[in-house]
Chains A and B, each alone.
Chain A
Amino acid sequence: DVKVTQSSRYLVKRTGEKVFLECVQDMDHENMFWYRQDPGLGLRLIYFSYDVKMKEKGDIPEGYSVSREKKERFSLILESASTNQTSMYLCASSSPGYGYTFGSGTRLTVV
């Protein structure tokens, strides 16, 4: 089975901190995605990548950046965390033509 592993299940950070959320997949998938999920707003796409060193903005990229130096790893970076970035963050991967496999999520709280 494809596994998508997110480095932390729960994270608490202070306002203004630089935050790294790591995601690793083990099935050589080309595409990787970062979503955030908030009550009443559903899943919203932040960034995605379809190849190493490639990235595309999703629907809500402001305040975030990403890095994909290796095919299996896709990192989401909060340059200066703010309280409105408190959310559940979900990473997913896929091959073209196939569905997503999601990680278990990281629940980030910014205080």
Chain B
Amino acid sequence: DAKTTQPPSMDCAEGRAANLPCNHSTISGNEYVYWYRQIHSQGPQYIIHGLKNNETNEMASLIITEDRKSSTLILPHATLRDTAVYYCIVRIAYGQNFVFGPGTRLSVLP
């Protein structure tokens, strides 16, 4: 599975959009981009995933560049409850397991 690179930490003001970047320059054609988050002392929670088209659900939007070498997770109106560690993972659809890197610690500030 391709490796990903994320900034270790970010801050965002409450009510503003949080844009979390992820680089995956070695991604292969059959690998999806997945995003999870982990709120303190809880198990990671699935957010969204995509292959090459942009995706949106009730939690977030995922923007994948045309060359698929990077992506951005967007939380459109961040709240204090969005403070968490966010993990970007690339994996083939039928891969056996996810490999979690250190992620980005997002702090939403009042």
Contact = CB atoms under 8 A, between A and B. Distances in A.
Interface string B81-104: 000000000000110111111110
Contact of A103 (B41, B43, B98, B102): B43
Interface residues of A, number: 25
A110 interface: no
Q: Is the interface of A mostly helix, strand, loop or mixed?
A: strand
Interface string B39-75: 0011111100100000000000000000000000000
B78 to A, nearest CB: 22
Given A42-B100, A45-B97, A97-B93, A90 B34 contact: no
Contact of B94 (A35, A58, A96, A104): A96
A89 B45 CA distance: 15
Interface residues of B, number: 19
Contacts of B96: 31, 48, 50, 56
Q: Is the interface of B mostly helix, strand, loop or mixed?
A: loop
Contacts of A21: none
B31 to A, nearest CB: 13
B103 to A, nearest CB: 8
A104 B39 CA distance: 10
Contact of A100 (B36, B42, B93, B101): B36
Nearest to A105: B43
Interface string A35-68: 1000000110100101000001010000000000
Given A48-B96, A50-B96, A96-B94, A42 B46 contact: no
Interface in B24-45: 34, 36, 41-45
A66 to B, nearest CB: 14
Interface of B: 34, 36, 41-46, 49, 93-94, 96-103
Interface of A: 4, 31, 33, 35, 42-43, 45, 48, 50, 56, 58, 88, 90-92, 96-97, 99-105, 107
Which 3 residue pairs are nearest across A and B when measured between Cβ atoms?
Answer: A102-B43, A43-B100, A99-B46
